Amino acid sequence: MGRQDLADALDDEMRRRPLPPTAVRTLGLWLAGSGAQYAKGAGGHAVEYRPAHWSGVEPWPVEFPERSRTGTARISRDQVVASTRGAAERSEWAEALVASYVWGQGRIGYGPHRLREILAEPTVDGALAKAGAALRQEGAVAAYDGLRGAVKGLGPAFFTKFLYFLDQGHVLDHAYSLDQGHSLGPATDAPVTPRALILDQRVARVMRAHAARVGADMALAHASDVAAWIWSDSGWTSHRYGVYLEWIHSATEQLASAGIGWPGSRPDLLELALFDGVWNPES
């Protein structure tokens, strides 16, 4: 078997058994303990940042604190969803990117410099607008594919945050429409595909460790090397992003049916748990 054949076999096996019993137990204990605040989803997950550090970054999200503010501020996922949704409604795509980027960087000092360089790229507004349209009309993988390599300096670890928050806004719009008894119609209804989720280096490394363990269990040749190849630290293909979305949605369904109180409609909670290192596949 060639390397791609081995990778496909490994992906197929991971689809058949997303999480081992030890992972289900560990994640259940977390949700009942330190993760209890997220029992209804990851929306309350907040990060700290320093508004003053982002002076000179334009356009600044209208919902965020003024950058003259000293000290730190906190911003939750739900607040970023509201900000990106408002920006998208005004077609202020760069503003939506800023909101997700600030949340993603938190208190890391070099973020503002990198973001200013990204916003200065002539392709940024058009690429973000096209991705927003693709996300609504075709789904997360198509939007990912359109952004991959489209804007210098904007890699998948950050543009998946943009897609995630934008897609969460679509989910809220859809839920509100249904609650009011309205149909969004074929032009604006969300596509029947997995919702967009964040994929960054920390999450990819958990996926790599899990894939290596699954590959070893199935006696796959060169399991560790194959896992390291498909779950690299960055530069994931749109195919790999699609595999990730399928896996994490399937694993969420598994957790929701395990009797541990896991919210089945919020796959982003599993992404958060993986990012925080709640489950270590190597242990």
- Mean local confidence (pLDDT), 14-29: 96
Between 180 and 94, the more confident residue is: 94
CA distance 69 to 55: 10
> Per-residue pLDDT tens for 55-77?
999 999 999 988 987 889 999 99
- Mean local confidence (pLDDT), 169-191: 47
CA distance 25 to 168: 28
Q: Where do the H-state alpha helices sit in the chain?
A: 3-16, 21-32, 77-89, 93-105, 111-119, 124-137, 140-147, 156-179, 185-188, 201-217, 223-230, 238-256, 267-275
CA distance 166 to 194: 14
| pLDDT band (50, 70, 90) for residue 171 | low
The confidence score (pLDDT) of residue 107 equals 81
pTM of the model: 0.92
Sole residue written with tokens 């693709």? 134
The confidence score (pLDDT) of residue 225 equals 97
The answer to whether the CB of 226 falls within 8 A of the CB of 13 is no
Per-residue pLDDT at 178 exceeds 60: no
- Mean local confidence (pLDDT), 74-86: 96
CA-to-CA separations, 188 to 83, 174, 193, 245, in angstroms, rounded:
20, 9, 14, 22
- Mean local confidence (pLDDT), 239-263: 97
- Mean local confidence (pLDDT), 71-94: 95
| pLDDT band (50, 70, 90) for residue 165 | very high
- Mean local confidence (pLDDT), 120-141: 97
Kindly report whether the peptide bond that precedes residue 61 is cis, defined as omega within 30 degrees of 0: no
- Mean local confidence (pLDDT), 271-277: 98
| pLDDT band (50, 70, 90) for residue 93 | very high
